[in-house]
Structure 1
């Protein structure tokens, strides 16, 4: 991590309770050549992966719904969030991790996973990079229990793609990664038409 304009001075762990919250103090050289000392807090929870399952024949998608406490404390009165299947890499490569998460959360066993892009979702405060994938499913795709593991209580939703897009407009789908994947799928369909 070498950068001629950044000199790390101090890296303090503020919390290592659930994941790691750090306060990093550094010297930063501005465009005008002046050096200044800055500090930022960064939350490190590891990298993750997300996937949108799509049935091309029915033009439906598989999404999940689960309680997300940070959204609850920020005004989401139910705390429930509709989102694309996702999870942390947990030392796996992104493709293996999303295969595992897909089976655990949705119950679908998918094999034709396609990587579409990578993105930092909240780069001002969170170190996490997400790897975005899509995969096809059909009514005959192998299914297992799904619904998450341990404390997770995950509902699996199958929605027509046009309905999911309208749910974005109505504010029923407000998760960034999910919006990005749904818009990506619509763009792909538009380009193929």
Structure 2
């Protein structure tokens, strides 16, 4: 009996060795074999496949993939005060790879689990920040590390205010989360990119906000030169 194949893993899954075997969208790729290397909360596989190169010859290749499921992230912003709401939390993978203390400034995010992306990010925003954001604006979907990680991340944005704060936030104690809320002026947040903000999803959301989002220079202006914020949050 092998966990994740014929014996349920920590998440109750079996048949994980079948993922990718039926792929047929690319005629240049023919999957030969899929092996499950580990299966606990996430799944690591080695897939062997034949690949037809541009000159027509075929080669046999193997790739490891890390499957943690798909996720969602959100930028919470207050247009009137020109601030964004981020979170600060400890990230061991960053710590072990050279970050001084492993404590990162980030946009709220989390795995979808069994939820649709918009429902998942509303759940995560509530758990981490305590804000009930209503219906978020969908921005785009991105493969964050396509060389080895299968995850697709769904990006969202939504306004926040004192009226949307319904609980303390801070994350789930049962999952070991210890989250601090951080309000930051947009200009300060943009200036912190590459310094105290080194998280990719957060950088992408801040750049969206500044370029084409609610704070963007491309927002329409009225005759007096004032930016029209009646449809704030929509590029």
**Which TM-score band applies after superposition, normalised by the shorter structure?**
over 0.9
Partners of 1:9 and 1:161 in 2: CA distance: 49
> What's 1:19 paired with?
42
Higher relative contact order (CA 8 A, sep 6+): 1
1:179 to 203, 207, 210: 203
User: Partners of 2:128 and 2:160 in 1: how far apart?
Assistant: 15
Cα displacement string for residues 23-42 of structure 1 (whole angstroms, at most 9, x for unaligned residues) = 01100000111000000100
**Bigger radius of gyration among the two:** 2
Which residue matches 2:189?
164
Tell me, yes or no, if structure 1 residue 129 matches structure 2 residue 152: yes
Q: CA deviation at 1:5?
A: 0.5
Structure 2, gaps ≥5 residues long: 1-22, 220-226, 228-235
Gaps of 5+ in 1: none
Q: Quote how far apart the aligned CAs of 1:20 are.
A: 0.2
**Shift in Å, 1:167:** 0.9
How far apart are the structure 2 equivalents of 1:174 and 1:77?
12
Instruction: Give the match's secondary structure for 1:168.
Output: coil
Distance 1:72 1:143 in 2: 32
- Which position in structure 2 is the counterpart of 1:119? 142
**Aligned equivalent of 1:59:** 82
* Corresponding residue number in structure 1 for 2:30: 7
TM-score relative to the length of structure 2: 0.80
TM norm structure 1:
0.97
1:145 CA displacement: 1.8
Following TM superposition, by how much is the alpha carbon of 1:77 offset from its aligned partner in structure 2, in angstroms?
A: 1.8
Cα RMSD, aligned residues only:
1.0
Report if aligned partners of 1:115, 1:133 keep a CA contact under 8 Å in 2: yes
Secondary structure in structure 2 of the residue aligned to 1:99: helix
Match in the other structure for 2:115: 92
Shift in Å at residue 17 of structure 1? 2.5
User: Which structure shows the bigger proportion of residues in strand conformation?
Assistant: 1
Query: Do the aligned partners of 2:72 and 2:155 also contact (CA within 8 Å) in 1?
Result: yes
Number of aligned pairs? 192
Q: Is the 1:7–1:26 Cα contact (8 Å) retained in structure 2?
A: yes
Deviation at 1:91, TM superposition (A): 1.1
